[in-house]
Structure 1
Amino acid sequence: MEHFIAAFSNFTNFRGRATRNQFWMFSLIYFGIVIGLSITEGLMGIPGIASGLFGLVMLIPSIAYGARRLHDIGRSGWWQLLGLIPVIGLIILIVMFCLPGKDEAAAQFPLQTA
Protein backbone atom coordinates (compact mmCIF):
# COMPACT_ATOMS: atom_id res chain seq x y z
CA MET A 1 0.00 0.00 0.00
CA GLU A 2 2.97 2.32 0.64
CA HIS A 3 3.82 2.39 -3.09
CA PHE A 4 0.26 3.38 -3.93
CA ILE A 5 0.32 6.20 -1.38
CA ALA A 6 3.77 7.27 -2.59
CA ALA A 7 2.33 7.58 -6.11
CA PHE A 8 -0.08 10.22 -4.82
CA SER A 9 2.51 12.12 -2.80
CA ASN A 10 4.73 12.18 -5.90
CA PHE A 11 2.06 12.23 -8.60
CA THR A 12 3.45 15.14 -10.63
CA ASN A 13 7.05 13.93 -10.46
CA PHE A 14 8.11 12.46 -13.78
CA ARG A 15 11.78 12.48 -12.77
CA GLY A 16 13.69 9.82 -10.90
CA ARG A 17 13.27 6.05 -10.97
CA ALA A 18 10.89 3.40 -9.69
CA THR A 19 12.07 -0.15 -9.06
CA ARG A 20 10.26 -3.18 -10.44
CA ASN A 21 8.87 -3.93 -6.98
CA GLN A 22 7.56 -0.39 -6.51
CA PHE A 23 5.95 -0.33 -9.96
CA TRP A 24 4.32 -3.77 -9.79
CA MET A 25 3.02 -3.30 -6.23
CA PHE A 26 1.47 0.00 -7.33
CA SER A 27 -0.04 -1.71 -10.40
CA LEU A 28 -1.36 -4.64 -8.36
CA ILE A 29 -3.14 -2.36 -5.91
CA TYR A 30 -4.45 -0.16 -8.74
CA PHE A 31 -5.93 -3.08 -10.68
CA GLY A 32 -7.28 -4.64 -7.49
CA ILE A 33 -9.21 -1.47 -6.72
CA VAL A 34 -10.51 -1.22 -10.31
CA ILE A 35 -11.64 -4.86 -10.28
CA GLY A 36 -13.28 -4.40 -6.87
CA LEU A 37 -15.12 -1.29 -8.04
CA SER A 38 -16.21 -2.98 -11.27
CA ILE A 39 -17.57 -6.04 -9.43
CA THR A 40 -19.41 -3.82 -6.95
CA GLU A 41 -20.91 -1.74 -9.76
CA GLY A 42 -21.94 -4.90 -11.62
CA LEU A 43 -23.64 -6.37 -8.54
CA MET A 44 -25.46 -3.12 -7.88
CA GLY A 45 -26.51 -2.83 -11.52
CA ILE A 46 -25.02 0.61 -12.01
CA PRO A 47 -22.77 1.75 -14.85
CA GLY A 48 -19.01 1.98 -14.30
CA ILE A 49 -19.02 5.53 -12.97
CA ALA A 50 -16.91 4.90 -9.86
CA SER A 51 -14.30 2.80 -11.67
CA GLY A 52 -14.21 5.35 -14.50
CA LEU A 53 -13.69 8.24 -12.08
CA PHE A 54 -11.01 6.28 -10.24
CA GLY A 55 -9.24 5.61 -13.56
CA LEU A 56 -9.42 9.30 -14.42
CA VAL A 57 -8.02 10.34 -11.02
CA MET A 58 -5.21 7.80 -11.37
CA LEU A 59 -4.27 8.74 -14.95
CA ILE A 60 -1.48 11.22 -14.15
CA PRO A 61 0.00 9.21 -11.21
CA SER A 62 0.03 6.09 -13.41
CA ILE A 63 1.80 7.87 -16.25
CA ALA A 64 4.32 9.38 -13.81
CA TYR A 65 5.01 5.99 -12.20
CA GLY A 66 5.40 4.39 -15.64
CA ALA A 67 7.87 7.10 -16.65
CA ARG A 68 9.91 6.55 -13.49
CA ARG A 69 9.90 2.77 -14.12
CA LEU A 70 11.18 3.32 -17.65
CA HIS A 71 13.89 5.63 -16.30
CA ASP A 72 15.07 2.72 -14.12
CA ILE A 73 15.84 0.70 -17.26
CA GLY A 74 17.52 3.67 -18.95
CA ARG A 75 14.60 4.67 -21.20
CA SER A 76 12.69 7.90 -21.58
CA GLY A 77 9.17 8.11 -20.20
CA TRP A 78 8.00 8.86 -23.74
CA TRP A 79 8.32 5.13 -24.47
CA GLN A 80 4.90 4.80 -22.82
CA LEU A 81 3.44 6.02 -26.09
CA LEU A 82 4.02 2.46 -27.35
CA GLY A 83 0.88 1.60 -25.39
CA LEU A 84 -1.11 3.42 -28.06
CA ILE A 85 -0.22 0.69 -30.56
CA PRO A 86 -2.90 -1.99 -30.15
CA VAL A 87 -1.78 -5.28 -28.58
CA ILE A 88 1.91 -5.30 -29.64
CA GLY A 89 2.63 -1.93 -28.00
CA LEU A 90 1.14 -3.08 -24.72
CA ILE A 91 3.11 -6.35 -24.84
CA ILE A 92 6.36 -4.44 -25.46
CA LEU A 93 5.61 -2.11 -22.54
CA ILE A 94 4.87 -4.99 -20.18
CA VAL A 95 8.17 -6.64 -21.16
CA MET A 96 10.01 -3.33 -20.61
CA PHE A 97 8.36 -2.88 -17.19
CA CYS A 98 9.60 -6.39 -16.24
CA LEU A 99 13.24 -5.71 -17.14
CA PRO A 100 15.71 -5.25 -14.27
CA GLY A 101 16.96 -1.75 -13.55
CA LYS A 102 20.27 -0.61 -14.99
CA ASP A 103 23.07 0.73 -12.84
CA GLU A 104 23.87 3.34 -15.52
CA ALA A 105 20.39 4.83 -15.06
CA ALA A 106 21.25 5.80 -11.47
CA ALA A 107 23.45 8.68 -12.60
CA GLN A 108 20.85 10.12 -14.97
CA PHE A 109 17.74 9.37 -12.89
CA PRO A 110 18.24 9.23 -9.09
CA LEU A 111 16.02 6.80 -7.15
CA GLN A 112 13.05 8.47 -5.43
CA THR A 113 12.38 7.36 -1.87
CA ALA A 114 8.92 8.92 -1.55
Structure 2
Amino acid sequence: MHYYVDVIKRYADFSGRARRQEYWMFVLVSLPIMVVLIAIDFMLGSYPVIFWIYNIAVFLPTLGLSVRRLHDTGRSGWWYLVGLIPFVGWIGLIVLMAIEGDAGPNGYGPSPKQLQA
Protein backbone atom coordinates (compact mmCIF):
# COMPACT_ATOMS: atom_id res chain seq x y z
CA MET A 1 0.00 0.00 0.00
CA HIS A 2 2.90 2.37 0.65
CA TYR A 3 3.80 2.21 -3.07
CA TYR A 4 0.40 3.65 -3.91
CA VAL A 5 0.64 6.42 -1.32
CA ASP A 6 4.24 7.26 -2.29
CA VAL A 7 3.20 7.74 -5.92
CA ILE A 8 0.31 10.01 -4.89
CA LYS A 9 2.69 12.07 -2.72
CA ARG A 10 5.04 12.55 -5.71
CA TYR A 11 2.09 13.48 -7.92
CA ALA A 12 3.87 15.91 -10.25
CA ASP A 13 7.43 14.57 -10.06
CA PHE A 14 8.65 13.71 -13.54
CA SER A 15 12.34 13.49 -12.69
CA GLY A 16 14.28 10.52 -11.44
CA ARG A 17 13.62 6.83 -11.86
CA ALA A 18 11.00 4.33 -10.67
CA ARG A 19 11.48 0.59 -10.24
CA ARG A 20 9.27 -1.99 -11.91
CA GLN A 21 7.98 -2.99 -8.49
CA GLU A 22 6.84 0.55 -7.71
CA TYR A 23 5.03 0.85 -11.05
CA TRP A 24 3.29 -2.53 -10.99
CA MET A 25 2.31 -2.30 -7.32
CA PHE A 26 0.65 1.04 -8.06
CA VAL A 27 -1.21 -0.57 -10.97
CA LEU A 28 -2.14 -3.56 -8.79
CA VAL A 29 -3.73 -1.29 -6.18
CA SER A 30 -5.28 1.16 -8.64
CA LEU A 31 -7.14 -1.39 -10.80
CA PRO A 32 -9.26 -2.87 -7.97
CA ILE A 33 -10.08 0.66 -6.81
CA MET A 34 -11.38 1.43 -10.31
CA VAL A 35 -13.45 -1.77 -10.40
CA VAL A 36 -15.05 -0.93 -7.04
CA LEU A 37 -15.77 2.63 -8.16
CA ILE A 38 -17.41 1.36 -11.36
CA ALA A 39 -19.61 -0.95 -9.26
CA ILE A 40 -20.55 1.92 -6.94
CA ASP A 41 -21.30 4.10 -9.97
CA PHE A 42 -23.65 1.47 -11.39
CA MET A 43 -25.40 0.98 -8.05
CA LEU A 44 -25.96 4.71 -7.71
CA GLY A 45 -26.92 5.06 -11.37
CA SER A 46 -24.25 7.69 -11.89
CA TYR A 47 -21.84 5.77 -14.13
CA PRO A 48 -19.19 7.04 -15.08
CA VAL A 49 -19.09 10.10 -12.81
CA ILE A 50 -17.24 8.71 -9.76
CA PHE A 51 -14.97 6.59 -11.99
CA TRP A 52 -13.89 9.64 -14.00
CA ILE A 53 -13.38 11.76 -10.89
CA TYR A 54 -10.93 9.13 -9.64
CA ASN A 55 -9.20 8.91 -13.02
CA ILE A 56 -8.78 12.67 -13.20
CA ALA A 57 -7.44 12.73 -9.62
CA VAL A 58 -4.75 10.11 -10.34
CA PHE A 59 -3.89 11.25 -13.88
CA LEU A 60 -0.82 13.32 -12.94
CA PRO A 61 0.54 10.79 -10.42
CA THR A 62 0.15 8.00 -12.98
CA LEU A 63 1.78 10.05 -15.71
CA GLY A 64 4.67 11.01 -13.42
CA LEU A 65 5.20 7.41 -12.37
CA SER A 66 5.12 6.23 -15.99
CA VAL A 67 7.70 8.83 -17.02
CA ARG A 68 9.96 7.86 -14.10
CA ARG A 69 9.55 4.18 -15.08
CA LEU A 70 10.62 4.98 -18.65
CA HIS A 71 13.57 6.93 -17.26
CA ASP A 72 14.63 3.77 -15.40
CA THR A 73 14.93 1.98 -18.75
CA GLY A 74 17.01 4.85 -20.17
CA ARG A 75 14.19 6.26 -22.30
CA SER A 76 12.70 9.72 -22.41
CA GLY A 77 9.23 10.28 -21.00
CA TRP A 78 8.09 11.08 -24.54
CA TRP A 79 8.12 7.32 -25.17
CA TYR A 80 4.83 7.28 -23.26
CA LEU A 81 3.23 8.50 -26.49
CA VAL A 82 3.88 5.04 -27.96
CA GLY A 83 0.60 4.14 -26.27
CA LEU A 84 -1.24 6.33 -28.78
CA ILE A 85 -0.35 4.06 -31.72
CA PRO A 86 -3.57 2.29 -32.72
CA PHE A 87 -3.95 -1.38 -31.81
CA VAL A 88 -0.34 -2.10 -30.78
CA GLY A 89 0.60 1.01 -28.82
CA TRP A 90 -0.60 -0.20 -25.42
CA ILE A 91 1.08 -3.55 -25.92
CA GLY A 92 4.35 -1.76 -26.65
CA LEU A 93 3.90 0.45 -23.61
CA ILE A 94 3.25 -2.56 -21.35
CA VAL A 95 6.44 -4.16 -22.67
CA LEU A 96 8.41 -0.97 -21.98
CA MET A 97 7.06 -0.85 -18.43
CA ALA A 98 7.87 -4.53 -17.86
CA ILE A 99 11.50 -4.63 -18.98
CA GLU A 100 14.23 -4.33 -16.41
CA GLY A 101 15.74 -0.92 -15.80
CA ASP A 102 19.38 0.03 -16.28
CA ALA A 103 21.54 -1.63 -13.65
CA GLY A 104 23.67 1.39 -12.88
CA PRO A 105 23.24 5.13 -13.09
CA ASN A 106 21.92 6.53 -16.35
CA GLY A 107 21.18 10.03 -17.63
CA TYR A 108 18.14 10.27 -15.34
CA GLY A 109 19.82 9.47 -12.04
CA PRO A 110 21.14 6.63 -9.92
CA SER A 111 19.53 3.21 -9.98
CA PRO A 112 16.60 3.04 -7.53
CA LYS A 113 17.52 -0.61 -6.87
CA GLN A 114 20.93 0.40 -5.57
CA LEU A 115 19.45 3.18 -3.45
CA GLN A 116 17.13 0.72 -1.65
CA ALA A 117 19.75 -1.98 -1.20
Using the size of structure 2 for normalisation, the TM-score is 0.88
**Residue 22 in structure 1 maps to residue 7 in structure 2:** no
Instruction: Name the structure 1 match of 2:46.
Output: 46
Task: Tell me, in whole angstroms, the C-alpha distance in 2 between the residues paired with 1:100 and 1:47.
Answer: 38
Report how many residues are paired: 112
Q: Write the deviation string for residues 39-62 of structure 1: whole angstroms up to 9, x where unpaired.
A: 121123222111101100111110
Instruction: Name the structure 2 match of 1:79.
Output: 79
The aligned amino acid for 2:33 is I
Task: Tell me, in whole angstroms, the C-alpha distance in 1 between the residues paired with 2:92 and 2:106.
Answer: 25
The one of the two structures with greater contact order (alpha-carbon pairs below 8 A, sep at least 6) is 1
Task: Tell me, in whole angstroms, the C-alpha distance in 2 between the residues paired with 1:44 and 1:87.
Answer: 33
Per-residue deviation at 1:86? 2.1
Task: Tell me, in whole angstroms, the C-alpha distance in 2 between the residues paired with 1:42 and 1:9.
Answer: 30
Q: In angstroms, what is the RMSD of aligned CA positions?
A: 1.6
Instruction: Name the structure 2 match of 1:32.
Output: 32
Instruction: Name the structure 1 match of 2:67.
Output: 67
Percent identity of equivalent pairs: 33
Q: Which runs of 5+ in 2 are unaligned?
A: none
The aligned amino acid for 2:42 is G
Using the size of structure 1 for normalisation, the TM-score is 0.90
The aligned amino acid for 1:31 is L
Q: Which runs of 5+ in 1 are unaligned?
A: none
Instruction: Name the structure 1 match of 2:58.
Output: 58
